[in-house]
Amino acid sequence: MTRHRAFAALLATGLLACATLSHAQYREPEVWVEAPVPAPTDWKLERVVEFTLGSASTPLRFGIDPLTLSVGSDGVVRYVFVARSPSGAVNALFEGIRCKTAEVRVYARWDPDGKRWLPGLSGDGAWQALDNRGATRRAMQVARGGVCDGAAPNRSPELILDMLRNGRKDLKP
C-alpha cells in the first residue's frame, strides 16, 4: 500500500510540474497596435531616389523620398512613394507596408494643387493584402524589392533604398 501511495504522490507531483510548465509557456497572443502616423511634412520631389519596378518597359519612373523612409517600432515600413510620367505628372502616396502580415496601407495621397495630403485612396485607409494583381501589385513589388526581408522589415532605410535601386542580390531569377 505504501508503494502505491508513493507512486501516486510521484505521479501527482509530475503532473503538477507538467501543468505548471505548460501554463508558464502559454502566453496570450500579442495584440498589435499601430504607432501614431503623422503625415510627412517635408517630402521633396527633388530628393526622390528612383528605381525600377516590375517591367523596365514602363514609361513611368518610380521612387521614394529617402527622408520619409522609416522602419517603425510597430514593424511598419513607411515612406512617400512617387510615380512620374514622361509628361511630368506626379502621383505621390504616403503608405506603409507591414511585412509580417503582407499588407499595405495608403495613409494619404498628395494633392499637388492644394499642396497638402488627402485621405488615402480607399477613403478609410484600411490595410489591404499584398497581391501580384490589382491595386496592391506595385506595393507587393516594393515589398519584395527591398522593404521586406521575408516576414520582417529590412534592417535599415539605407539597405532598403540600396536594394530597391540595385536589385536584391538574394532573389533568384
**Does residue 145 sit in helix, strand or coil?**
helix
Cell of residue 152, nine digits: 520582417
Distance CA 153, CA 148 (A): 4
List phi, psi (to 5°) of 104: -130, 150
Which residues are CB-neighbours of 32 under 8 A, at least 6 positions away? Answer: 74, 75
pLDDT digits (tens, 9 = 90+) for 124-171: 678 999 999 888 999 999 999 999 999 999 989 999 999 999 987 654
Count CA atoms closer than 13 A to 89's CA, side-chain side.
Answer: 5
Q: Is the pTM of this model over 0.95?
A: no
